[in-house]
């Protein structure tokens, strides 16, 4: 074995470097994770429902909403820590007033799963009492921390957060856009870093092999 190796030192060296490169690539493919996606599926402000208010019922400043979380990792679970949600009212293009906040309990999500959660938040202090351009806009933000479950092990904690401005129908109190609204996350820079790293590893493999 040793004699063969000294005879073909170059080949031996090359195959060692190639397999090391492949192991690194395999590890990277196994360990890389994608951030879950968060959508605001529905949002309803009973205080804006003209049918209720015209019935002279006492105003209800609750915000009722449905959140959808998608784990796009096909082979990794996600453990969500407490999810913090804040709702603020846009007073103009740049200013908001805090309206309500609430939390969702920690939960685990299997690989490739989608989870939908109904919840509500109680608004304190003046409710939705101002509009921008004749429309009610809410700023909805979420923030949590997640651990990815890779086979039997949990990764370290990662921050996950995002938000969006949501337009509300002033006469029904429902979110104007019936489709889910992505609570944008800071995923892009992370993904760019991964692409840069993988490009680097692949070119390193080629460089060392030839």
Ligand X SMILES: *[C@@H]1O[C@H](CO)[C@@H](O)[C@H](O)[C@H]1NC(C)=O
Q: Contact positions toward ligand X, by CB under 6 A?
A: 44, 46, 49, 51-52, 60, 62, 86, 92-94, 98, 101, 124-126, 129-130, 132-133, 137, 169, 171-174, 176
Angle between helix 187-209 and helix 9-31 axes, rounded to 10 deg: 170
Q: Is 155 left (phi over 0), alpha (psi -120 to 50) or beta?
A: beta
CB of 114 to ligand X, least distance (A): 24
CB of 135 to ligand X, least distance (A): 7
CB-nearest residue to ligand X: 126
Specify whether the CB–CB gap between 191 and 209 falls below 8 A: no
Specify whether the CB–CB gap between 80 and 105 falls below 8 A: no
CB of 152 to ligand X, least distance (A): 35
Closest to ligand X by CB, 70 vs 88, is 88
CB of 208 to ligand X, least distance (A): 50
CA-CA distance, 90 to 166, in Å (whole number)?
Answer: 10
Specify whether the CB–CB gap between 67 and 116 falls below 8 A: yes
Closest to ligand X by CB, 47 vs 109, is 47
Closest to ligand X by CB, 78 vs 123, is 123
């Amino acid at each position: 074995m040793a004699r063969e190796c000294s005879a073909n030192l170059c080949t031996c060296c090359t195959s060692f470097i190639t397999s090391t490169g492949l192991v690194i690539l395999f590890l990277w493919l196994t360990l890389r994770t994608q951030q879950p996606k968060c959508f605001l599926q529905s949002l309803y402000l009973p205080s804006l429902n003209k049918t209720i208010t015209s019935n002279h019922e006492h105003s209800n400043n609750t915000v009722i909403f449905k959140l959808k979380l998608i784990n796009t990792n096909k082979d990794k679970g996600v453990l969500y820590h407490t999810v913090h949600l804040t709702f603020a009212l846009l007073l103009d293009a740049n200013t908001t007033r805090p309206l309500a906040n609430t939390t969702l309990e920690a939960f685990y999500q299997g690989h490739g799963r989608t989870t939908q959660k109904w919840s509500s938040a109680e608004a304190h202090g003046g409710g939705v009492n101002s509009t921008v351009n004749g429309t009610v806009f809410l700023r909805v933000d979420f923030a949590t921390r997640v651990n990815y479950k890779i086979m039997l092990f949990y990764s370290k904690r990662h921050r996950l957060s995002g938000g969006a401005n949501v337009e509300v129908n002033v006469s029904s109190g429902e979110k104007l856009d019936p489709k889910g609204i992505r609570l944008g996350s800071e995923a892009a820079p992370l993904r760019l870093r991964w692409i840069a790293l993988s490009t680097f590893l692949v070119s390193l493999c080629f460089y060392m092999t030839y």
